[in-house]
């Protein structure tokens, strides 16, 4: 495929008719997903004058992970004022850390305020997206067989949208009620039931305390313990909410303080992991204070370096573990049968219900959508050695496709919304760059992507995430394709401008090569 240079553009500009020029100046845009990434990107596009856009949502409502995760106790572990768009502050957060319903309400407010409703298609699950070299357009196929065509494809599916089910023999044989925490069965009353919970991750530490007092017996199957710190949460007082509203500068300053407090923790995760020992000791003290059973206490103190897996925050996890009707089981699960869970030692644990709190397939980006780029190359082919993207946004061989919350843009210390807003700015500048090369498609150069990926992976080598534990940060090859290895302001600096030298601007209809 011939590269369209600036000279080519000047020579060919006069031959483009007004329809072609208009199409490129105001490209049609498809956005997959209506979580924080998709909604924020759509808002920024509309404000910049890009109105020919459609958001495709597989469900019947917006919200992404905050729509799906409705389990009891669902809440955010990033402070409310920083888990919101900088351009759309909310002054009346009820708590320092937002609850699921309030966060979802904030997202719906954004949809209404910026009039995104007319741009959203619900029940529009994407099965496949294919780039056409001859037209420089993407064709998106929905689950119902319908096909849509657009100049630009933006994926905002997130990393926490595909539940990870445990791979256990006999799971399909269980005759009781079984569901994943991300697909909570609100029609099933757990009161007085014998419940088996598989997993002790971020979801479980929120819903287990909410159900432990209702159930007759709760068998909690733990593969590895989590480091759990106290959550500095409380309701905001009315006068505080009024102050945020009447003095917007104070609201901004409060957000600024949150940012730098969170950001300072990046040093511990990436450079000086010894600093995390302070938090490890804090977690141990909290556990000893709240858990009186010596056997349980021994099981809930992790044997891996703090920070290697996600650090969790909760004020009621340890008290829930300490309850007499909660049985903490560390013997590995051998299999599941019709009536319960059987451990490797042969112990049978009867259950009326099994709840899988086993997280998400975070490293399987865009799964299960089939993405096909130039020359028929699929994203699975491109990522056979691990997911990688230039600045976490563009992938070589997939022109005019932009990923939000892509590979190596997750955080362990701060708000993902800050990263997303950096990506919004970068994508917008990419679209502005396309206007300089009418009727073209921009494809990141493979060598630029490889160089960026190498720098990221080198940056991850000495971080706490590489200290030897198994976590959802790692893919099947043991490679960290999820986390950003540094400060969020370094990522913002890296995405502050688009260098067109990093890209090929491709002219449609030319043979591959």
CATH number of residue 427's parent domain: 3.50.50.60
> 488-507 pLDDT, tens per residue?
999 999 999 999 999 999 98
Residues 286 and 389 in one domain: no
Q: Are residues 177 and 306 in the same domain?
A: yes
Higher-scoring residue by pLDDT: 378, 509: 378
Mark residue 265 as left, alpha or beta (left: phi above 0; alpha: psi -120 to 50; beta: remaining).
Answer: alpha
Domain assignment of residue 257, yes or no: no
pTM (2 decimals)? 0.91
Q: Which residues of 282-313 are buried (b: 16+ CB within 10 A; e: fewer)?
A: ebbebbeebbeeeebbebbebebbbbbbbbbb
Residues 148 and 284 in one domain: no
Last residue of a domain, one of 356, 372, 406: 356
Q: Which stretch of 149-163, 245-259, 265-279 has the lowest confidence by average pLDDT?
A: 265-279
Distance in angstroms (rounded) separating the CA atoms of residues 376 and 398: 10
Average pLDDT over all residues of the chain: 91
Range of the domain at 339: 171-232+272-356
- E strands, 65-193, in order: 75-79, 97-99, 120-121, 126-132, 137-142, 147-150, 152-155, 177-180
212 and 81 in a common domain: no
Task: Look at residue 9 in the predicted model and tell me its pLDDT.
Answer: 37
Strand extents, DSSP E, 245-351: 312-313, 326-329, 333-336, 340-343, 348-350
Whether 204 and 286 share a structural domain: yes
pLDDT at 513 exceeding the cut of 80: no
Instruction: Write down which residue in 322, 341, 356 finishes a domain.
Output: 356
Same domain, 379 and 350: no
Domain annotation covers residue 138: yes
pLDDT over 60 (residue 511): no
Task: Among 28-42, 169-183, 464-478, name the one with the lowest average pLDDT.
Answer: 464-478
Confidence of residue 162 (pLDDT cuts 50, 70, 90): confident
Query: How many CA atoms lie less than 13 Å away from 309 in the CB half-sphere?
Result: 19
Tell whether 132 and 183 lie within a shared domain. Answer: no
Higher pLDDT, 69 or 159: 69
* Average pLDDT over every residue of 39-62: 97
Position 266 scores a pLDDT of: 85
**What CA–CA distance (Å, rounded) separates 98 from 93?**
7
Range with lowest mean pLDDT among 222-231, 236-245, 273-282, 420-429: 273-282
Looking at the 3D structure of the chain, how many domains does it have?
2
What is the tens place of the pLDDT at every residue in 414-472? 999 999 999 999 999 999 999 888 889 999 999 999 999 999 999 998 888 888 788 87
Asked whether residue 290 falls in the same domain as residue 382, the answer is no
- Give the burial class of 83: count Cβ atoms within 10 A of its Cβ; 0-12 exposed, 13-18 middle, 19 or more buried: buried
Q: How confident is the model at residue 1 (pLDDT cuts 50, 70, 90)?
A: very low
Is residue 124 a part of any domain in this protein? yes
219 and 117 within one domain: no
Q: What is the pLDDT of residue 510?
A: 56
| Domain end among 356, 375, 396 | 356
Query: In this structure, are 299 and 218 located in the same domain?
Result: yes
């Amino acid at each position: 495929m011939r590269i369209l240079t600036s000279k080519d553009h000047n020579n060919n500009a006069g031959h483009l008719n007004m329809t072609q020029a208009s199409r490129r100046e105001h490209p049609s845009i498809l956005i997959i997903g209506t979580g924080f990434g998709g909604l924020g990107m759509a808002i920024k596009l509309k404000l910049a004058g890009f109105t020919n856009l459609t958001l495709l949502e597989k469900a019947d409502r917006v919200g992404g992970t905050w729509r799906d995760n409705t389990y009891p106790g669902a809440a955010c572990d990033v402070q409310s004022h920083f888990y919101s768009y900088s351009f759309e502050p909310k002054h009346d957060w009820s708590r320092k850390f937002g609850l699921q319903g309030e966060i979802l309400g904030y997202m719906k407010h954004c949809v209404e305020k910026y009039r995104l409703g007319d741009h959203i298609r619900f029940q529009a699950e994407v099965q496949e997206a294919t780039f056409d070299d001859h037209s420089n357009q993407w064709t998106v196929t929905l689950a119902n067989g319908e096909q849509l065509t657009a100049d630009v494809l933006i994926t905002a599916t997130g990393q926490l949208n595909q539940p990870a089910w445990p791979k256990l023999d006999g799971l399909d044989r269980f005759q009781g009620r079984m569901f994943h925490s991300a697909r909570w069965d609100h029609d099933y009353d757990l009161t007085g039931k014998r419940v088996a919970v598989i997993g002790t991750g971020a979801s479980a530490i929120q819903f287990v305390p909410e159900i432990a007092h209702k159930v007759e017996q709760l068998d909690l199957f733990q593969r590895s313990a989590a480091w759990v710190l106290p959550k500095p949460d409380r309701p905001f007082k009315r006068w505080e909410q009024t102050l945020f509203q009447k003095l917007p500068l104070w609201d901004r300053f409060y957000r600024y303080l949150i940012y730098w407090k969170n950001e300072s923790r990046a040093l511990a995760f990436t450079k000086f992991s010894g600093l995390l020992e302070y938090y490890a000791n804090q977690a141990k003290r909290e556990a000893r204070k709240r858990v009186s059973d010596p056997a349980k206490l021994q099981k809930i103190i992790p044997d891996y370096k703090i920070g290697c897996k996600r650090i969790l925050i909760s004020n009621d996890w340890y008290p829930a573990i300490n309850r007499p009707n909660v049985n903490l089981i560390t013997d590995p699960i051998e299999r599941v049968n019709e009536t319960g869970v059987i451990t490797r030692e042969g112990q049978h644990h009867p259950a009326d219900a099994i709840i899988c709190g086993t997280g998400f397939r975070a490293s399987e980006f865009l799964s299960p959508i089939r993405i096909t780029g130039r020359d028929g190359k699929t994203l699975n082919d491109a990522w056979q050695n691990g997911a990688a993207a230039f600045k976490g946004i563009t992938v070589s061989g997939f022109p005019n496709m932009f990923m939000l919350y892509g590979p190596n843009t997750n955080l362990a210390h701060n708000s993902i919304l800050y990263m997303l807003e950096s990506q919004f700015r970068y994508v917008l500048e990419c679209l502005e760059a396309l206007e300089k090369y009418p009727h073209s498609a921009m494809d990141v150069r493979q060598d630029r992507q490889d160089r960026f990926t190498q720098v990221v992976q080198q940056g991850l080598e000495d971080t706490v995430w590489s200290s030897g534990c198994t976590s959802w940060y790692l893919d099947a090859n043991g490679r960290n394709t999820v986390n950003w290895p540094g400060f969020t302001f370094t990522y913002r600096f890296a995405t502050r401008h688009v260098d067109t030298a990093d890209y090929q601007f491709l002219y449609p209809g030319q043979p591959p090569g």
